[in-house]
Structure 1
């Protein structure tokens, strides 16, 4: 059966890392994020998520829960959440209290997406976790269940409580780029989001494993999959491809372990990478849909006909804010 690209059948959402441009600042990027959130809310997008990263030049979303409050406070109906909070970096109790607070302030609009990666380099992870680096990711399932329990209604035997947080209905998602979180999300009956915008390798196998092993729960009766993909839409294929070079430069910097501010687009990437680097960047950005409305629509249709995805989360690291708004406006029209 064909999978039509319509807002009724395939919801669109946004993942934002609050990228800082070479001629910008963190404060300007945060204001741009709020402006984008206000626009996509009016264009009918389902949710607006922010991602936790640390010690990465060019990414200003480290204090993720603070930014969630900023975005939620400047919008009125779009769901706002984390894509995600890296749970091994935090106490489950603190996360429950933070998101309980957000839910009290913006009831019915807050979502908690959780990951188990550090969102940074090993040295920074050590600083975040105060030396508990090796055990943190192994303890993710235990910490996740502890966190979920803090949101449960009170019990007489409960000695430690999240206040606020206890008894609140805060949707929890598991995020992943491998098989681990897919299987855990299926076991616990949680919605699952895959980071195919930068880690495409296991998308199909992870989605299939999640669907095949899903256990209905009080959180979710049927499996629900969201895939994050790169979308660069413009009024012409040529302009979209040019805008896309900013994220290609970012990916190249990650491969070289040289994180920089978001670079302006260029007309030609051939002088910036060698053939091996070009291959590596294109593999990393495999699930990218770049072009005018017809090209992007065709690409997304092919993607959705091949892989079972209930929702698309768009990632668009576009240098110019007006061009970024236009990209999301075009996507909303598909």
Structure 2
């Protein structure tokens, strides 16, 4: 009986040891923090393109000539051509490509080089200068493309890849982490002007020519379009910025469906909440977005939202800065109904309101 029990015990022990052996690599991988980015890189480089634009610019240089009688004449302005480059991301197998507006704005001709070295002429489908996004198309089929990830679910500290064509070096991949979300570029560049003030900040190296390229997560999902770097030299100095994919997805969809971008409007003027205001409002902690003014007759006014209210949530998603709120609203269409949680005089209230169209578009 004892021998049989010992045999059973050893068999059980052997099984446990085998389980531990097969589990060790997985645990070591988690503890080391290493992430395999090879598959994501392979998938992305084939879906990111090199964009070359031919720009036509009138020159202030005039040419002069003499007629047979010695009279001098001035010819008209001579056209001047120059080339600019950037990157783009293939979104569909039939050739829709998203890039930055500043990459293609003013282009006389646009050429796209695929990762298989094919060179194709592209046309502009639509541009949205306010978000610095543009949609172009090439006439071909069966292209590799990237699927949208959910930028709202991206986490600070998450590994990302930036893929583009810096300095005309095609198919360049750099890695980093998400350093911040809902970043307002006015904080680092007062001259920056955009309809969105909510960018994904990363330390993945982005340089000239990366504009319009992909920011992807470890699964190879598109979570942003690289748009800017903060640098006095024009080259990477430690951090760069991408337009969140949820905004990109909405802008692209609008351009395809309507030919322009439709923007939703709550009818409020908002500011970041600071400690002094939070104390004045007797809030237990500093959270939410302060409503400085409610526009008369607007969506918020119609449902009873007031100035000095604090917006805590939009559709059960917390908002703790003006940038976060703007990013959230950018994803909605005019006419959409949203739930807004408000702090007012020590109590929380829920409001349902219908977003209106921004007349400034």
Q: Common fold, TM-score beyond 0.5?
A: no
Please tell me the TM-score bracket, short chain as reference. Answer: under 0.3
Report the structure, 1 or 2, having the larger strand content: 2
TM-score (norm 2): 0.22
TM-score (norm 1): 0.23
